[in-house]
Structure 1
Amino acid sequence: MMPENLSRLAWAVWRRNLDVYLKSWRVNLLTPAFEPVLYLLALGFGVGSYISEIDGVPYVRFIAPALVAISVMNASFFECTYGSYVRMYYQKTFDAIVATPVSIEEVIAGEILWGATRSLISASLMLPVLVLFGVVALPSSLFLIPFAFAAGLLFASIAMCFTSIIPNIESINYPAFLFITPMFLFSGTFFPLDLLPAPLQALALAALPLAHVVNVCRALTLMAGWELLALGLAWIAVVTPPLFLLALRLMRRRLVV
C-alpha cells in the first residue's frame, strides 16, 4: 500500500532537480551522448571484427541494446546514490524541503522519479546515435524511451535502498563494485546469457535486474526474443513496487531521528 502522506508534491521535488539539471545541461549531456560512440567503436566494431555473429545477429547489433540498458542502469543508480546522498547530507536539500509542506516520503519519491527521468534522458540521447550507426530497428526501438523510465524506477528504488543504509559517501563504492559491476558483466550484455552454467543463468534471471532490462531492450531493438520480453516486463512490474515502498520506509527510518 502507498503511504498516506505521499501526494503530487513529489513532482515538485522532481521539478526542483530538473531545474538544477537544466542549468548545466551542456555538461550533463556530454557523457550519455558520447559514451555509446566509444563503446560501439571499441567493442562493436573493434572486438566485433573478430566475432562474426551471435545467434545470427552481427555482434555490433547484439551489444547495442545492452549499451542502452547499461546507460539506463548507471544513470538512475548513481543519481540516487551519489546525487541523492550529496543532496541529503552535504547540501541539506532534504532538510530544506521537509521544512515546507512536503513530506519525507514525497522527497524520496521525487528523488526516485528524478532518477528514472535521468534514465529516460540517457536512452533518448543514445537512441539517435544507435540509429545513425544503423544498429537498431525502427520503429520498435522507439519503445526504449518509455521503457527506460520504467527500468529507471527499478534501479532508482534499489539505489535509494542502498543510500538509506550507507554510513558515508565512500561506502557507495561497495554496491557499485559488488552489485553494479557483476550485473555489468553477467547479465547477457556482451555475450549470451545461455553461455553461462545453468546455475549462473538461473541466478542472473532471479537476482540481476539488468539481465531482464537487457532482454527487453534486445527484443525491442532486434524484434526478436518476445518470450524474454514478456518475462522481463513481468519481472520488473512485480519487483519495482515493493522496492519503491521499501526505499521510502528505509529512508524515513534514516532521516527521522
Structure 2
Amino acid sequence: MSELDPPRSTDAIVASAPPVVQTHQRYPQPLLPRNARNWMMVWYRNYMVWKKLAVPSLIGNLADPMIYLFGLGLGLGLLVGNVHGVSYIAFLAAGTTASSVMMSASFESMYSAFSRMHVQRTWEAIMHAPLTLGDVVLGEVLWAASKAVLSGVAIMLVAGLLGYAQFPSALGALPVIVLAGVTFASLAMIVTALAPSYDFFMFYQTLVMTPMLLLSGVFFPLEQLPEGAQAATQVLPLAHAVALIRPLMLGRPVENVALHVGVLAAYAVVALTVALVLLRKRMLR
C-alpha cells in the first residue's frame, strides 16, 4: 500500500487475504507404528501407573482362576479321579493357566484401555507427541499381554509348587503364554474400538469368552464333546492355547505345534490389523 492509497478497514484486509489452507490433522499419521521402539513409551507409561497398585491388581487377576483351580480341582477331583492319566486338578491347572491368560489380556484391553482412550483421553494426549495411533495401540496390546503373562506364570508356579506341573518342561509354555496374551489382547481391542460404553463389554464376555471357556478343553477333555462340537472348537484360539500349554505343563510331547502356533499367530495379526482400522475411524470422527 502506498502513502497515497486510502486506509482500509481491518475487515476489508481480512476479506482480501488469500484463503488459509488447513494442513493440520487431528491425529498423527501414518496408522502403523512409526518405528520399532515408540510403543515402549506407551508400555512404560502404563507400567508406571500400574506399579502404584501392583499388589491389589495381581490379587484381583489371580483370585478368579485360583478359585476355579482349587474349588473345581479339589471338589470335582474326588468325583472324577484321573483324566488322561493325571489327577483332575493337574489336568485343570494347565487349562486354568491358559484361561487366565485370556481373561487378564481381555479385561486389560477392554476396560483399562477403554478408560484411557474414551474416558481419560490419555490416547489423545499421547498422540500430541511424535507417536502414531499404531504406536499407542501396539503399546496397549503388549501391555495387556504382559499382564496376562504375569497371571499365567503365577498360576503355573503355584501348580508347580503343588506338584501339578512338571518343570523344566513347563518353561516351554512361556512363549505360548506370550503369544496367547497378544492374541487375546488384540481380539479384545476390536471390542474396545466398537464399544460405546463399559456395558458393551458384557456382550463379548457372555457371547464369546464364556462359550470359549467352556468349549476349549479347560475343564474337561474335548473328546467328551459331540463330533460336530469338536470340529467347531478348532476355530477357537483358547483351544489351541490349551493344546500347547497342557502337554508342556504335564511333561508330555506336543502334537501339531505348527498348527496351534499358526492359528494363534493368525488371530493376533488379523485382530490387531482390524482393531487399528476401527480405532482410526473412531478417533478421527
Unpaired stretches in structure 2, ≥5 consecutive residues: 1-30
- Residue aligning to 1:163: 192
- Residue aligning to 2:20: none
Pick aligned residue for 1:218 from 241, 246, 267: 246
1:252 correspondence with 2:280? yes
- Residue aligning to 2:259: 231
| Cα distance change, pair 253–136 in 1 and its aligned pair in 2 (3 A) | same
Give how far 1:237 is off.
2.3
Q: How do residues 15-164 of structure 1 correspond to structure 2 at under 5 angstroms?
A: 15-164=44-193
| Cα distance change, pair 149–205 in 1 and its aligned pair in 2 (3 A) | same
Deviations 1:197-227 (A, max 9, x none): 1111111112x11111111110211133521
Partner of 1:224, secondary structure, is coil
Give how far 1:36 is off.
4.4
Give TM-score scaled by structure 2 length: 0.85
Whole-Å Cα distance in 2 between the matches of residues 254 and 7 of structure 1?
A: 24
Give how far 1:4 is off.
6.3
Whole-Å Cα distance in 2 between the matches of residues 52 and 228 of structure 1?
A: 28
Higher helix share: 1
Identity %: 35
- Alignment coverage as a number of residue pairs: 255
| Cα distance change, pair 32–143 in 1 and its aligned pair in 2 (3 A) | farther
Whole-Å Cα distance in 2 between the matches of residues 238 and 85 of structure 1?
A: 24
Whole-Å Cα distance in 1 between the matches of residues 78 and 33 of structure 2?
A: 56
Deviations 1:102-136 (A, max 9, x none): 11111111111111111111122222211111100
Partner of 2:255, secondary structure, is helix
Whole-Å Cα distance in 2 between the matches of residues 3 and 89 of structure 1?
A: 20
Give TM-score scaled by structure 1 length: 0.93
Whole-Å Cα distance in 1 between the matches of residues 63 and 230 of structure 2?
A: 31
User: Which one-letter code corresponds to 1:236 in the other structure?
Assistant: L
**Contact in 2 for aligned 1:80/1:112 (Cα 8 Å):** yes
Partner of 1:136, secondary structure, is coil
- Residue aligning to 2:269: 241
Whole-Å Cα distance in 1 between the matches of residues 74 and 183 of structure 2?
A: 31
Q: Which has the larger radius of gyration?
A: 2
Question: RMSD value over aligned CA atoms?
Answer: 1.7
Whole-Å Cα distance in 2 between the matches of residues 125 and 186 of structure 1?
A: 24
